[in-house]
């Protein structure tokens, strides 16, 4: 067997192995991250609590608007090496000043806070408020900045 034949067989097996490890999801071709299948599924929620209008962009090509009470969400599963990172940028106008922030909506540290259940959906909740950005791993109702269910993570620039 010549080198080219061995190389083709190797590529064939690696392709099938990567499909097995990563799964094949036709929706991954779209602009949103791939859907969950198995092994550490995650779902990230970003909700605008009380800001008139937020412009956001989260690891996808085009920015969009997030009005009060609206939520942007996506789901995915961790890759084999746990190198998943999703960044989100937010901008909004308060009086005459522009407030901006870029956060790690998901990475290794956020995964620890969300949970690490391999066979059930792990949920990560981000809440945008005028006072800052909060995180929770459960979707309890946000009362105020002293709420025990929500952890203050970032202040606006």
Query: How many domains, in total, are found in the chain?
Result: 1
Largest CA distance in the chain: 72
Taking phi over 0 as left and psi of -120 to 50 as alpha, with beta for the rest, 111 belongs to alpha
Does 20 reside within a domain?
no
d(CA 19, CA 63): 30
- pLDDT per position as a tens digit, 81-121: 777 889 999 999 988 899 999 999 998 899 888 887 777 78
Q: Quick check: 74 and 84 in contact, CB under 8 A?
A: no
Does 135 reside within a domain?
yes
Quote the domain boundaries for residue 63. Answer: 29-154
Mean pLDDT along residues 64-91: 86
- pLDDT per position as a tens digit, 23-45: 444 333 334 444 444 455 889 99
Beta-bridge mates of residue 11 = none
Give the chain's end-to-end CA distance (angstroms, integer). Answer: 63
Does 24 reside within a domain?
no
Does 100 reside within a domain?
yes
């Amino acid at each position: 067997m010549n080198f080219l034949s061995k190389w083709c067989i190797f590529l064939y097996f690696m392709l099938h192995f990567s499909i097995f490890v990563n799964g094949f999801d036709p929706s991954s071709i779209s602009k949103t991250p791939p859907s969950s299948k198995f092994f550490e599924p995650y779902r990230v929620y970003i909700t605008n609590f009380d800001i008139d209008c937020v412009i956001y962009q989260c690891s996808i090509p085009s920015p969009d608007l997030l009005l009060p009470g609206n939520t942007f969400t996506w789901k995915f599963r961790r890759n084999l090496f746990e190198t998943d990172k999703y960044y989100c940028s937010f901008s909004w106008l308060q009086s005459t000043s522009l407030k901006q922030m870029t956060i790690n909506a998901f990475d290794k540290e956020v995964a620890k806070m969300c949970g690490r259940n391999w066979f059930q959906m792990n949920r990560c909740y981000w809440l945008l408020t005028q006072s800052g950005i909060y995180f929770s791993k459960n979707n309890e109702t946000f009362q105020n900045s002293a709420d025990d269910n929500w952890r203050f993570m970032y202040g606006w620039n």
